[in-house]
Structure 1
Amino acid sequence: MDLDLRKLRYFVAVAEELHFGRAAERLHIAQPVLSRQIRALEDELHAQLFVRTKRVTELTLAGRQLLEDARPLLAGADATRRRVARAARGSKTFMIGFMPGLTVTEAVRAFGATHPELDIELIRTTWDDQVQVLHDGRVDVSVVRLPIDQAGLTVHPLFEEPRVAALPADHRLAGKSQIDITDLADDHLLQPPDAVPEWRDIATELRARTPRPVPVVHSVEEKLEHVAAGRGVSIVPHSVAAFYQRHDVVTVPVGNIAPNVVALAWIATRRSRLLRDFAAIAPTVTWTA
């Protein structure tokens, strides 16, 4: 049996919303149509995917497994469509993703010199989508900041760089030549604690209280706005701090936290010669200003 990608997209929408009405609005279809498509998918798979009551919609064990498998499958289909569309237009394009604080100029020049036939395009990524752009085909290769979910990817570390604390300009530690992560134990960290395990592990007194919510941010600029406003502190790679300087935020080296690792990543199943050539060039160039 071949999976119907349309039904699979419908299923993912319901699984993410856990509400047939909201999923139908998201998909721009009528709710009865959506319900019929989900029932048809369950019949095809011979498995119940949802438990529905008047109050809640929940995934079954089979539904959770399908959701785990469906996302990369749909992303792969999207990637194939994008690559075929580019080929159909007759354009020979190589797409590179890169994270904030990194510069790709030297790599683009070196790679372009060996492949003058290519149209090299760039996409700036974020912590939210630096892996997604690979799976959905928006880029061929991405310069990422670890840690990431490496499932389905080939990942080659390039270099390490120290991380610094971004603090409001009037913070008690502003002006220090270096601090220890324990100095920030009482501060509100404006990122998930697991992103800075050293802070998470020493801030035991914070765990005894109700944790303050971490704001949802999608860019370095948004994060620094929160820092500047005095809402908390953040740990960022040194190159990010150097690139995004502002008068109301200061950065201080932190002496006892692990460095950030920058790596090259691409879809593991791809066997493109261009990917191999770019991977060979990447360790020989400079990635920070």
Structure 2
Amino acid sequence: MDVDLRKLRYFVAVAEELHFGRAAARLHIAQPVLSRQIRALEGELRAQLFRRDRRSTELTDAGRQLLDDARPLLASADGLRRRVATAARGSAAFTVGFMPGITVTEAVRELAGRHPGLAVELVRTTWDDQVDVLHDGRADVSVVRLPIDRRGLTVRPLFREPRVAVLRADHRLAGKDAVLVGDLTDEHLLNDPDAVPEWRDIAVEFREGAAPVRRGFGSVEEKLEHVAAGRGIAVIPLSTSEYYTRADVVHVPVEDLPPNEVCLAWIAARRSRLVYEFAEIFETLVPADREDA
């Protein structure tokens, strides 16, 4: 059975919205058309994907499984289109994704110097899309911070670096040479708590009742604004805190947190000579004072 990518895109829209009307508006199609396409997909897969009543739409177990599998499949299809379109234009381009605080300038210059006709581009990533840019073809390689979903990727370790607590400048712990996770138990953490499980497991606000609702941050700058406003603290890699310096926040090493691991990642199925060459270049340029991953 061939899977229709268009139907998969329709399914993902409904699965993310959990509302056929909103999904239809997002897709710019009529709701009856969307409903027919979803029923056709369910018929092809011989599985019910949604439970619907007058008040709600929910994914079934089969629907949740399809959503997990459909997103990377659609991203790979998008990436294929981008790469074919680039090849058809006859343009030679190579794009590097990088996370905040990580400098790729020297490696990019070296690669460009070796290949004068190659346009080496850069795309800044976040925790949310550092892997997506590989699957959807926006980047050929991405310098990532673990943890990530490694499925379909080759991941090459580069180095580790300490993590620090970022605090408002007048915070009670500001000026300390270092702190322990236990010193932060009374604090409100602006990170996703799952990213710092050592804090989550002992935090006062989790012991006292339901975990507080946390909103996502689109950038490091936004997170630092909240720290400076006294709305909480953040735990970030040392290089990120050093890159985004400002007078109203300080960083303090957290001695008993494991280091953040930085790696280079790319689509495992790709056999691009440039990918391997860039990986070798980057590895040779890792500063000697960085801890080997």
TM-score normalised over the length of structure 2: 0.94
Matched, 1:210 2:210: yes
The answer to whether the 8 Å contact 1:106/1:286 transfers is no
Find the counterpart in structure 2 of residue 221 from structure 1: 221
Q: 71-80 or 59-68, which moves further after superposition?
A: 59-68
In the TM superposition, what are the counterparts of 1:55-204 in structure 2 within 5 Å? 55-203=55-203
Moved more, 205-214 or 68-77: 205-214
Determine if contact 1:99/1:124 at 8 Å carries over to the other structure: yes
Q: Find the aligned partners of 2:239 and 2:245 in 1 and give their Cα distance.
A: 10
Provide structure 1 residue ranges, at least 5 long, that are not aligned to the other structure: none
Match of 1:22, SS state, is helix
Structure 2, unpaired ranges of 5+: none
Q: Does residue 272 in structure 1 map to residue 272 in structure 2?
A: yes
Tell me which residue corresponds to 2:254.
Answer: 254
RMSD: 1.6
For residues 238-253 of structure 1, what are the structure 2 equivalents within 5 Å?
A: 238-253=238-253
Q: CA deviation at 1:277?
A: 1.1
Aligned residues: 289
Q: Which moved more, 1:79-88 or 1:63-72?
A: 63-72
Q: 3-state SS of the aligned residue for 1:210?
A: coil
Matched residue of 1:202: which SS?
coil
Deviation per CA, 1:186-232: give whole Å up to 9, x if none: 00000111211221233266323332222320100000000000000
Per-residue Cα deviation, 1:232-260 (whole angstroms, up to 9, x for no partner): 00111111111100111011111111111
TM-score, structure 1 length as denominator? 0.96
Q: Aligned to 1:23, what secondary structure does the other structure show?
A: helix
Report the residue type matching 1:178 in the other structure.
A
Q: CA deviation at 1:149?
A: 1.0
Provide the rounded CA distance (Å) in 1 between the counterparts of 2:42 and 2:262. 42
Deviations 1:87-122 (A, max 9, x none): 122111000000000111111122222222211000
Q: Deviations over 1:38-94 (max 9, x none)?
A: 112222222222222112212222222221211111111100011111112211100
Amino acid at match of 1:137: G
Q: Which amino acid aligns with 1:24?
A: A
Assess if the C-alpha contact under 8 Å between 1:186 and 1:206 holds in 2. no
Corresponding position of 1:20 = 20
Q: Would the aligned equivalents of 1:127 and 1:218 in 2 still touch at CA under 8 Å?
A: no
Mapped to 1, the partners of 2:241 and 2:64 lie a distance apart of: 40
Q: Which moved more, 1:199-208 or 1:223-232?
A: 199-208
C-alpha change, 1:9 and 1:271, in structure 2 (3 Å) is: same
d(CA) in 1 for partners of 2:214 and 2:51? 32
AA matched with 2:174: A
Contact residue 142 and residue 266 of structure 2 kept, 8 A? yes
Q: CA deviation at 1:157?
A: 0.8
Aligned equivalent of 2:46: 46
CA contact (8 A) 2:187 2:203 kept: no
**Percent of pairs with identical residues:** 69
